[in-house]
Amino acid sequence: MHIIHITSELAPIAKVGGLADVVFGMARESQKKGDLVEVFLPKYDSIDPSFLQQLKLEYRDLWSYDGTQQHHNSVWSIQIHELKVLLLEAHHPAHFFDRGAIYSCQDDIDRFIYFSRAVLEYLFKSGKKIDILHIHDWPTSLVALLYKKMYRALGFFVKGVVLTIHNLQYQGKCNPHHLTRAGIYGREFLTPEELQDPLIPTDINLLKGGMEYADAITTVSLTYEQEIKAPGGGHGLEASLLRHQHKLRGILNGIDFDYWNPQTDPFLFKRYSLKDAFQGKSFNKKQFLKKLQLLPSKGPLICSISRLDPQKGLNLITYTLKYTLENEGQFILIGSTHDPNIQTAFEELQKEFSKNKNIFIHLKYDEQLAHQTYAASDIIVVPSLSEPCGLTQMIALRYGAIPVVRSTGGLSDTIFDLDTSCKPIDKRNGFCFNSPNVPEMDSVLNRAISCYRECPERWTQMIRSGMSTDLSWSRSSDAYHEIYCRL
């Protein structure tokens, strides 16, 4: 089968959050299982040049439209860990992908609509025989409509379009004239059955458009699928989700077991497996604390590795920092945000604790530091208000760090409380709480730290359970394969 993923993020070359990891892992796994897979991404100027050394020109004179204006594009290809990646370079006067960032530009809607149309133009002109177009979140949702309303009429055929919703919170709301710029008359689609936003009736909703026009819709965990269909859980799109539930399926994400592997991870101070996890983790912790100029300690090392978005339960992350200090532990925060107010608030926190040798706050995206943090930490906290799937808790399990999570979305599907879960004891792998408030956070941290200090055997058992769980893409990619085959 020939599958084309069309995406705004791809690990490790263009990553903001989990979307990048998921497309990478999903694509690599279906390639391993015999599919021909290509991933299409904008050629952002923020891609590290070391990835671009073997660039190959695939298409030189690709003309595509922005309104009535024609613009010139080039399509390049590279191999990333044996995966073929196509990069669209837009020679557009607005320099859409030369912004030093993937998102948070004022014209994000125009940037990704332009990308969606140009990708289809290339696929049409390239004459490739494609089975599946797999699109992800609002940035590439318009591909489904453009394919069905424009490119199919031109003679470009695929067997099906699959939309994966990674996070329903971001929907790509815009004015109808944005659609018109892509070559379809926007006002025509401003109806409840089409792309009209259910909350702002004058707006077009790109994600809703993806849902209307895709042949299959998936989302990233079973619990999240239920949550978004429930009243108030779908950010306004509940009715559309229910209307399309026959084509909607929740499939739990995996993590790329080759990339996230403490036995081979090139970023670690010392690699380790389940067999020597205790020595391995303790060596990594020692070196890590030294690197960050923190004090050596016997207390628990607690971390949070997260986009700093309100959805992540930011007040509970801050609370954990203070709780950890009071309880003779150490806390590491690796977080990034494009929101200036959140950035300022966390910079103040960073300043407040700059001299404290038990706290380290890093407010940038840093892949190496993240890997080292997973390996060194005893506990990771994920107190999200909402979490479609969440990858950090799964990566933590793979590296022998115990997750403390709020039971929501994919966190509920992957973390089973040591004291309260119905799972057999050897399947319990963390600590969970229900309501995202300080008393519950306090109580769950208390349980986790007490167990760390007082029940080393149970702790060891949980590390074993986490490190030996198969959270790879293998299982989930079969479910995707089933959908591709059906289409």
Q: Which residues bind ligand ADP (CB under 6 A)?
A: 17-19, 21, 305-307, 334-336, 365-367, 370, 389-392, 395
Q: Rounded to the nearest whole angstrom, what is the least distance from the CB of residue 81 to ligand ADP in the complex?
A: 15
> How far lies 450's CA from each of 14, 106, 376, 436, 446, in Å?
40, 48, 19, 21, 6
Angle of helix 438-454 versus helix 456-468 axis, rounded to 10: 100
Residue type (1 letter), 474: S
Beta carbon nearer to ligand ADP, 19 or 451: 19
23 versus 158: smaller Cβ distance to ligand ADP: 23
Could you give the C-alpha distances from 38 to 79, 272, 389, in angstroms and in order? 10, 33, 24
Q: Give the residue with the Cβ less far from ligand ADP, 182 or 369.
A: 369
Residue 466's Cβ-side half-sphere holds a number of Cα atoms within 13 Å equal to: 34
Nearest approach, Cβ of residue 37 and ligand ADP (Å): 21
Judged by beta carbon, residue 180 or residue 350, the one nearer ligand ADP is 350
Helices marked H in 294-420: 314-326, 340-352, 367-376, 392-398, 409-414
Residue 79's contacts (CB-CB under 8 Å, 6 or more residues apart) are 54, 85
Cβ closest to ligand ADP, residue 349 vs residue 391 = 391
Q: Which H or E element spans position 61?
A: strand 56-66
Residue closer to ligand ADP (CB basis): 171 or 392:
392
Which CB atom, from 64 or from 304, has the smaller least distance to ligand ADP? 304
| Choice between 17 and 176, CB closer to ligand ADP | 17
- Integer Cα distance of 397 and 468 in angstroms: 9
d(CA 62, CA 320): 52
Helices (H) and strands (E) in the chain, counts: 16, 17
CB of 362 to ligand ADP, least distance (A): 7
**Residue 291 C-beta: closest distance to ligand ADP, Å:** 16
Shortest Å, Cβ 390 to ligand ADP: 4
Closer to ligand ADP by CB, 280 or 390: give it.
Answer: 390
Three-state DSSP state, 161: strand
Return the number of the residue (22 or 86) whose C-beta is nearest ligand ADP: 22
Beta carbon of residue 202, minimum distance to ligand ADP (angstroms, whole number): 29
Closest separation in Å from C-beta 389 to ligand ADP: 6
What kind and span of H or E run contains 115? helix 108-126
Q: How far is the CB of 367 from ligand ADP (least distance, A)?
A: 5
Residue 117 to residue 412: CA distance in whole angstroms? 37
Q: State how far the Cα of 431 lies from the Cα of 407, in Å rounded to an integer.
A: 9
Cα 299 off chain centre by: 31
d(CA 412, CA 426): 17
- Among candidate residues 409, 24, 432, the one with its CA nearest the CA of residue 220: 409
User: How far apart are CB 334 and ligand ADP at their closest, in Å?
Assistant: 5
Cα pseudo-dihedral 215, 221, 225, 228, rounded to 10: -110
Shortest distance, position 296 Cβ to ligand ADP, whole Å: 25
